[in-house]
């Protein structure tokens, strides 16, 4: 057996690893190349540093997936944080490790678990304490999609990691080594500088998953990859990668030592420039960086008036005070129920069926605004009202979907921001609408949070965030995901100004929304809400081949596992939020 691994295109006699050969690969071929099993991993790269010693070691499951080391580069103290996606980049060693089921389990297909991110947070905090420049090596297919990781709070642990990087008072650098996919990667790329290896990829969703959503089959992964523009070279063009590091004389797995030397040369330059950093100015520079991140456009005011108006999705009862029962209402004994439902009963349960648990409606952003602020007190911000989503990728059908959704929701984008009053107290409110492309987090949302945060600071009033959404928006590629750290930095600005931040987490709040603004501030969980966490129920069941437990990702399930302290009915939101912001006045 050969002691090297070859991808299918490497077996083609016409492929010679030249720049042109690689450039001619399909987008999916470039994706495969980015996680070739012999590409250098984190434990290969630590050889370019001096005085390397492990720290924060643990035998806890998942600790090996994000490793941490103290080190030096040109005498400058460094904290290394690295996603190690497997035991080795040596193919012979890899084959041997695959024979041991326990080793396979330990490495968990390279997918970090909550304990992995907890280790990263500790390393970030230790770096600040010891005044070390942080260098992070990124390489993951995504975070662990299992019920156990949800029970251990993986969404909140990823959010903690992004939050820590937003606040830490030392310079931060991230380097995408191979494949950086989904929230498992964005957890560690919200840094002052983001670099990427020449043949790496940076993506919000795997091509297979994107194909499944876009074309209803996983077989068109290459088309999905092309639409998503997943290479780090394309990320550089879109402004989400600051520097591409060359892989000399062909891809890194063919020329490891030259690649390591290339990385050392670039890192040395950045570290030397940061060696005399001032902790007092680090955050100011970080703010300057992140306020420039993202792309959006402004619609014409005349177009705005054609669709912009409040839209409610709350059910309207018949004169009898009842609404039709949904058609698939079965009790636990399998009996179907046909009788209409009292609107008062539905309001009491927050529109969740007391028989089968079906949610009758997901309220609109306008509905949440009416619940949260005093009557007629909401005034949309002029600074954000025209900000619209921009199709930077030419993604199939995106422009048409945006136009259709604006008409249905009465909104320019998934988020609306404005000034409001809660029981006489001025606030800034950001509300999200699940009806707008699933409330997915995107570049316009990141920009609106940024501007709303600045308005809150200028007015010295609390910031209230209502979170809803199924993740980051695939139509904008990785640029949507990179706006998540931007929102974290914006929220940190508000907290640094000594102002309260309150976040209402509603049904659903998953993926990029959960690890973003939903993980910040004083958290309130909507009564009877479900679908709250990182990976969705269907994704987890498909990956594990097992049904999730009863009540999975509901607020009661979250409370049982220690993640939901305050569960609030919409009718009580105003009073509860007022009490929270009053206590921090």
Q: How far apart are CA 286 and CA 492, in angstroms?
A: 11
Q: How far apart are CA 555 and CA 568, in angstroms?
A: 10
For residue 16, being part of any structural domain is answered with no
Helices (H), 305-393: 343-348, 365-372
pLDDT in the model for residue 491: 98
Q: What average pLDDT score do residues 310-330 get?
A: 94
CB atoms within 10 A of CB 434: 24
User: Are residue 158 and residue 236 in the same domain, yes or no?
Assistant: yes
**Residue 156, token pair as written in the block:** 């909140």
Name the residue with tokens 């501030």: 521
pLDDT in the model for residue 2: 60
User: Are residue 455 and residue 484 in the same domain, yes or no?
Assistant: yes
Q: What percentage of the chain exceeds 70 in pLDDT? A: 99
Element (H, E) at 181: strand 172-181
Name the residue with tokens 């990956």: 543
Q: Residue 292's closest CA among 238, 362, 226, 340?
A: 238
Rounded to 5°, angle at Cα 471 from 349 and 507 = 5
**Residue 571, token pair as written in the block:** 């009718």
Name the residue with tokens 């004994």: 333
Q: How far apart are CA 387 and CA 294, in angstroms?
A: 12
pLDDT tens readout for residues 490-504:
999 999 999 999 999
pLDDT tens readout for residues 164-215:
999 999 999 999 999 999 999 999 999 999 999 999 999 999 999 999 988 9
In whole numbers, what is the pLDDT of the chain averaged over residues?
96
Number of domains, the chain:
3
User: Are residue 80 and residue 150 in the same domain, yes or no?
Assistant: yes
| Residues linked to residue 341 through DSSP beta bridges, in sequence order | 323
Q: How far apart are CA 232 and CA 178, in angstroms?
A: 10
For residue 6, being part of any structural domain is answered with no
For residue 1, being part of any structural domain is answered with no
Going by their DSSP bridges, the two strands 66-73 and 50-54 should be labelled as: antiparallel
Q: Residue 427's closest CA among 379, 486, 382, 385?
A: 379
For residue 378, being part of any structural domain is answered with yes
Looking at residue 459, which CATH number applies to its domain? 3.90.226.10
User: Are residue 58 and residue 101 in the same domain, yes or no?
Assistant: yes
pLDDT band at 515 (very low <50, low <70, confident <90, very high): very high
| Residues linked to residue 76 through DSSP beta bridges, in sequence order | 73
For residue 26, being part of any structural domain is answered with no
Helices (H), 299-415: 301-304, 343-348, 365-372, 398-409
The domain of 562 spans: 299-313+363-583
User: Are residue 457 and residue 524 in the same domain, yes or no?
Assistant: yes
pLDDT band at 376 (very low <50, low <70, confident <90, very high): very high
For residue 453, being part of any structural domain is answered with yes
User: Are residue 464 and residue 347 in the same domain, yes or no?
Assistant: no
pLDDT in the model for residue 583: 76
Q: What average pLDDT score do residues 332-340 get?
A: 94
User: Are residue 379 and residue 280 in the same domain, yes or no?
Assistant: no
Cα distances from 522 to residues 152, 449, 535, in angstroms, run 19, 17, 22
User: Are residue 108 and residue 251 in the same domain, yes or no?
Assistant: yes
Q: What is the pTM (predicted TM-score) of this model?
A: 0.97
Q: How far apart are CA 68 and CA 78, in angstroms?
A: 11
For residue 4, being part of any structural domain is answered with no
For residue 19, being part of any structural domain is answered with no
Exposed/middle/buried for residue 558 (C-beta within 10 Å: 0-12, 13-18, 19+):
buried
Query: Are 502 and 464 in contact, with CB atoms under 8 Å apart?
Result: yes
pLDDT in the model for residue 1: 39
Residues 34-47, buried b or exposed e (16+ Cβ, 10 A)?
bbbbbbbbbbbbbe
User: Are residue 340 and residue 372 in the same domain, yes or no?
Assistant: no
Going by their DSSP bridges, the two strands 66-73 and 76-83 should be labelled as: antiparallel
Cis peptide before 369 (omega within 30 of 0): no
Q: Is the dihedral of CA 531, 536, 538, 541 positive or negative?
A: negative
**Residue 549, token pair as written in the block:** 């437990």
Q: Residue 564's closest CA among 535, 536, 528?
A: 528
User: Are residue 355 and residue 489 in the same domain, yes or no?
Assistant: no
User: Are residue 108 and residue 199 in the same domain, yes or no?
Assistant: yes
User: Are residue 257 and residue 340 in the same domain, yes or no?
Assistant: no
Query: Are 417 and 380 in contact, with CB atoms under 8 Å apart?
Result: yes
Q: What average pLDDT score do residues 156-168 get?
A: 98
Phi, psi for residue 126 in degrees, rounded to 5: -65, -35
pLDDT tens readout for residues 45-65:
999 999 999 999 999 999 999
pLDDT band at 436 (very low <50, low <70, confident <90, very high): very high
DSSP for residue 89: S
Q: How far apart are CA 245 and CA 251, in angstroms?
A: 11
* Rg, C-alpha atoms of the chain: 24
Q: How far apart are CA 311 and CA 410, in angstroms?
A: 6
Q: Residue 163's closest CA among 494, 433, 466, 459?
A: 494
Outline where DSSP puts E strands in 206-260: 243-245
Q: What percentage of the chain exceeds 90 in pLDDT? A: 97
pLDDT band at 585 (very low <50, low <70, confident <90, very high): low
pLDDT at 567 over 70: yes
Element (H, E) at 129: helix 114-130
């Amino acid at each position: 057996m050969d002691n090297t691994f070859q991808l299918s295109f490497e077996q083609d006699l016409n492929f010679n690893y030249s720049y042109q050969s690689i450039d001619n690969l399909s987008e999916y071929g470039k994706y495969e190349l980015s996680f070739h099993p012999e590409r250098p991993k984190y434990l290969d790269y630590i050889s370019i540093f001096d005085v390397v010693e492990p720290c924060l070691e643990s035998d806890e499951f998942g600790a090996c997936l994000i490793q941490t080391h103290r080190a030096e580069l040109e005498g400058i103290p460094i904290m290394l944080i690295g996603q190690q996606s497997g035991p080795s980049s040596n193919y012979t060693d890899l084959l041997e490790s695959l024979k041991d089921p326990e080793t396979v389990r330990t490495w968990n297909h390279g997918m970090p678990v909550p304990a992995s991110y907890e280790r990263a947070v500790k390393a970030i905090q230790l770096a600040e304490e010891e005044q070390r420049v942080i260098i992070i090596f990124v390489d993951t297919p995504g975070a662990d999609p299992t019920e156990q990781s949800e029970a251990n709070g993986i969404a909140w642990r990823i959010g903690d990691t992004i939050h820590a990087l937003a606040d830490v008072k030392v310079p931060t650098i991230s380097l995408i080594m191979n494949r950086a996919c989904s929230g498992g990667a964005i957890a560690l790329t919200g840094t002052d500088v983001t670099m990427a290896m020449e043949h790496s990829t940076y993506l919000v969703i795997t091509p297979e998953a994107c194909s499944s959503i876009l074309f209803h089959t996983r077989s068109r992964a290459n088309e999905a990859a092309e639409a998503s523009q997943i290479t780090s070279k394309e990320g550089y063009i879109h402004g989400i990668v600051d520097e591409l590091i060359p892989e000399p004389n062909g891809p890194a797995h063919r020329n490891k030592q030259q690649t390591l030397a290339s990385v050392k040369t670039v890192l040395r330059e950045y570290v030397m420039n940061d060696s005399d950093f001032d902790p007092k100015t680090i955050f100011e520079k970080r703010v300057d960086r992140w306020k420039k991140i993202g792309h959006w456009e402004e619609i014409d005011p005349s177009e705005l008036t054609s669709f912009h108006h409040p839209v409610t999705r709350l059910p309207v009862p018949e004169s009898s005070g009842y609404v039709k029962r949904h058609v698939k209402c079965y009790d636990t004994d399998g009996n179907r129920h046909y009788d209409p439902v009292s609107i008062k009963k539905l309001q009491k349960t927050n529109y969740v069926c007391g028989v089968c648990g079906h949610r009758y409606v997901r309220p609109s952003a306008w509905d949440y605004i009416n619940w949260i602020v005093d009557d007629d007190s909401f005034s949309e911000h002029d600074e954000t009202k025209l900000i619209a989503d921009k199709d930077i990728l030419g993604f199939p059908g995106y422009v048409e979907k945006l136009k259709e959704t604006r008409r249905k929701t009465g909104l320019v984008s998934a988020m609306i921001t404005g000034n409001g009053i809660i029981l006489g107290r001025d606030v800034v409110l950001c509300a999200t609408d699940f009806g707008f492309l699933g409330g997915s987090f995107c570049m316009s949302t990141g920009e609106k949070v940024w501007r709303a945060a600045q308005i809150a600071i200028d007015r010295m009033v609390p910031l209230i965030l209502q979170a809803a959404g199924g993740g980051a928006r695939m139509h904008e590629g990785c640029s949507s995901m990179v706006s998540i750290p931007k929102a974290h930095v914006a929220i940190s600005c508000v907290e640094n100004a000594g102002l309260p931040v309150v976040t209402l987490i509603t049904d659903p709040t998953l993926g990029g929304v959960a690890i973003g603004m939903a993980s910040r501030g004083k958290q309130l969980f909507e009564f009877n809400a479900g679908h709250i966490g990182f990976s969705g129920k269907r994704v987890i069941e498909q990956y594990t081949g097992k049904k999730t437990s009863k009540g999975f990702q509901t607020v009661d399930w979250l409370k049982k596992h220690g993640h939901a302290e305050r569960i609030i009915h919409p009718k009580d939101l105003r009073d509860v939020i007022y009490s929270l912001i009053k206590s921090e006045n």
